[in-house]
Amino acid sequence: MRTRHFLDRDSMADEDLLQKVHGLEDLDLAALLCLVSREHCIVSTEPDELDTLIQELRLVASQTFNLSSALVDFTPHTTLDDLAASIQLRPATPPAPPPPPQLQPPTPRTPSASRRRGTESSYLHGRTATPTTPRHQNPFTPATPPQIANVILARNLDRAPKDVQIQCLELMRTRRILTRTSVQTAPKQFLFIAVLESTGAGRLVSHLNDFFYVSHWHDPEDGFAHLEEQEEEETEEDRKGGETASLDSASSVVRRSTADSMSIPVLTSTPRPGPSRSSATYVNREDQMTGTDQISLSSSRASSFSFPSITESDIATLALQARQVNQDVEVLRYQMNIVSFIRMHRAVAPGGGGATPLATKHLDQLAKCLAALHGLDFVTPSLVALAVKKIYPHRIRIAAPGQERSMQWGSDLSAIEALLEGMDAEYVIEDVLSIVEAPL
């Protein structure tokens, strides 16, 4: 019975964790996958929305994962010293020590008083005239060493010089960075996010580009959930502040005019509890509400919604579950066929076109992590297809018309140019997934 009780508790904990995972947005999930796999990612959007995306990612780090973040704005003139200084958190400034006691002249005493106190008066006089430093104050206490932020947002990393990009690769690979005076080690929960414009991934150093785990395109039309929630909370707080002031004013008027009447109910400004953010519970509860309840719910919806919080223990649990995921031979064959077809696609540049061995390793790793996030202990073909769409978009390089394979057998260059016009990595991936047959 005790063993069954512990198994039930574990299953309930897993269900709670899955509910938290399913309540996350796309950017939260991209960060979670990287933290579970101890890898790093590229996030891109339209150039006009890059600042908004960075604000959203900082809220993702702080609100969802409770991690610190640092922003590095790369330019063609960024140096290695600029990189090392930008990724470190500024140590908290210690409070200023209290001012020393002011020296005051000794008060004159009568001889009789001095005789009564003996040498005590001279001792007290000496202490008053000579200030001493309290024991708890140590002016030589060393400052707190700087620490690397948990999440580094690398804005316009593609614009950085080559040596700076290589230093970023070394930071991602070894989780430490060399400065002029010391070696800074990254924290255990460490995530490097390259925040790029829509076409920025192609200008990264090839080895750095290949080292990134996944790439995610965020459409501005999908919105920025954390920023929108923050704005709604601020608006709700302002509205509640105005309502509270109005209620206080009204209640004071009511108390003065009806002091002798005890039948009038007392006005209270306690808000009604709102629903949780779970979609299933929310729909069922709203369907059974009356019109007045729905109006009250809509007014408190902004303040009651909150995103799930993923702890370090949750990340460790998902990582353990991902390592225990099994993969059938047929699914593994399907995965390898996709990799082979990508490498041999006529639109992909010769030499693999970005379908590297590291990409294949990342594909296998991501498919298992996705299975863990879905509560499965095995990989399905649909999860493999989903992983392909996240692993290869920033890696695939489209061949130039003169390098297309059929040119070796006398194809017409103008025909090849017309064929490759408009082809991109997404087209290649969709074409390969439509060709390779998935196992039943």
Q: What is the pLDDT of residue 245?
A: 58
256 falls in which pLDDT band (50, 70, 90)?
Answer: very low
Is residue 278 predicted with pLDDT exceeding 70?
no
411 falls in which pLDDT band (50, 70, 90)?
Answer: confident
Q: Are 167 and 173 in contact (CB under 8 A)?
A: no
**Dist. CA 132–CA 136, nearest whole Å:** 12
Q: What is the pLDDT of residue 138?
A: 53
Buried/exposed code over 57-96 (b: 16+ C-beta within 10 A; e: otherwise): bbbbbebbbebbbbbbbbeeebebebbbebbbeeeeeeee
Question: In the predicted model, what is the mean pLDDT of the chain?
Answer: 78
**Dist. CA 171–CA 221, nearest whole Å:** 33
Is residue 39 predicted with pLDDT exceeding 70?
yes
Q: Backbone phi, then psi, for 88, in 5-degree steps? A: -95, 145
Residue, of 351 and 280, whose pLDDT is higher: 351
Is residue 294 predicted with pLDDT exceeding 50?
no
Is residue 229 predicted with pLDDT exceeding 70?
yes
Q: What is the pLDDT of residue 122?
A: 40
Structure confidence by residue, pLDDT tens digits, 355-383: 899 999 999 999 999 999 999 999 999 99
Q: Are 405 and 346 in contact (CB under 8 A)?
A: yes
146 falls in which pLDDT band (50, 70, 90)?
Answer: confident
Domain made up of 312-435: CATH architecture:
Orthogonal Bundle (1.10)
Residue, of 280 and 33, whose pLDDT is higher: 33
| CATH 1.10.8.80 domain range(s) in the chain | 312-435
**How large is the average pLDDT for residues 218-228?**
92
Q: What is the pLDDT of residue 133?
A: 47
Residue, of 435 and 235, whose pLDDT is higher: 435
Is residue 329 predicted with pLDDT exceeding 90?
yes
* Chosen CATH of 24-88+145-220 out of 3.40.50.300, 3.50.50.60, 3.10.450.50, 3.40.50.720: 3.40.50.300
* Window from 9-13, 146-150, 161-165, 332-336 with minimum mean pLDDT: 9-13
Residue, of 29 and 96, whose pLDDT is higher: 29
**Dist. CA 421–CA 408, nearest whole Å:** 19
| CATH 3.40.50.300 domain range(s) in the chain | 24-88+145-220
Q: What is the pLDDT of residue 336?
A: 97
Provide the greatest CA pair distance for the chain: 122
Structure confidence by residue, pLDDT tens digits, 159-212: 999 999 999 999 999 999 988 888 899 999 999 999 999 766 668 999 999 999
Report strand pairing: 147-148 vs 88-89. Answer: antiparallel
288 falls in which pLDDT band (50, 70, 90)?
Answer: very low
Residue, of 14 and 25, whose pLDDT is higher: 25
